[in-house]
Homo-oligomer: A and B are copies of this chain.
Amino acid sequence: MMSPRPLTDFSRLCVHTATTKPWNIETAMDRYAKAGIAGITVWRDTLEGRDPNTVGRQLADSGLEVVSLCRGGFFPALSEAKRREAIDDNRRAIEEASAIGAPMIVLVCGAAIGQSLEDSRSQIVDGIAAILPEAEAAGIKLAIEPLHPMYADDRSAINTMAQAHEACDRLDHPLVGIAVDVYHVWWDDTLPRQIQNTGELDRLFAFHICDWMTPTRHLLTDRGLMGEGCIDLPGIRAMVEATGFTGFNEVEIFSTRWWESDQDEFLEKVKETYLRHT
């Protein structure tokens, strides 16, 4: 396993609002900024009932760097009408990203039960192609996030780095790249060369961290804090940094266990384990 340079400050730490789900967007930006965290990735549910332009001004005032908007995607569907709806929704996501000052949207690409994963992947490529004009006009990057194979039923038909690369190859556009989330790809024995490829192809757009719990009690909401699980975080960070990546290390933890805890204390643990175990 490779050892990267230890992390000694929070200048590259970004926290996803979903990590501190009990907080609304105003509280999250306030607390992250006070905690000395440098970046924020905003989940779309936090914008509900708000004018994204207002949130964008608040974010600009907070001093936080807006790393990305999470999430677009969910392109596949059995009917063309539903696929058009998904494309429209992704266009709205591009508008929201512009409004809040996010340079990138993370795509959880989707999968439709009732058709092959191959067909879903084609619809994903078609969906991304359909929104590329708007992404270009707004200058917003689109990061395809390969999801763990346990989400292949209805969350994403792109389940490996190889498939993410293939989608990028088909789209062949500088605004289309890959978000590497350790949770989804840590088990893959091709990971070293796949990450290396993202560097050579200028496709490594985002790096998400958390940990894999043993046992995992829920498929969606039992992620661990860094160091709580079995993922070789320093090893994967070393691979990522070897590509020349200098972006944020984004903490994205969905955990009912942590959401039920005091969120200020949890945020301190995020900082502590970020330095110690990443």
A residues in contact (CB < 8 Å) with B: 1, 113-114, 116-118, 148-150, 152-154, 159-160, 163, 186-189, 212, 214-216, 219, 229-230, 232
Contact = CB atoms under 8 A, between A and B. Distances in A.
Contacts of A216: 150, 153, 219
Contacts of A229: 153
A117 B187 contact: yes
Number of copies of chain A assembled together: 2
A214 B148 contact: no
Contacts of A149: 148-150, 187-188
Tell me what chain A mostly uses at the interface: helix, strand, loop, or mixed.
loop
B118 A214 contact: no
B215 A219 contact: yes
Contact of A187 (B1, B159, B188): B159
Contacts of A118: 189
Contacts of A116: 1, 232
5 contacts: A1-B116, A118-B189, A150-B219, A153-B212, A153-B214
Contacts of A214: 113, 153-154
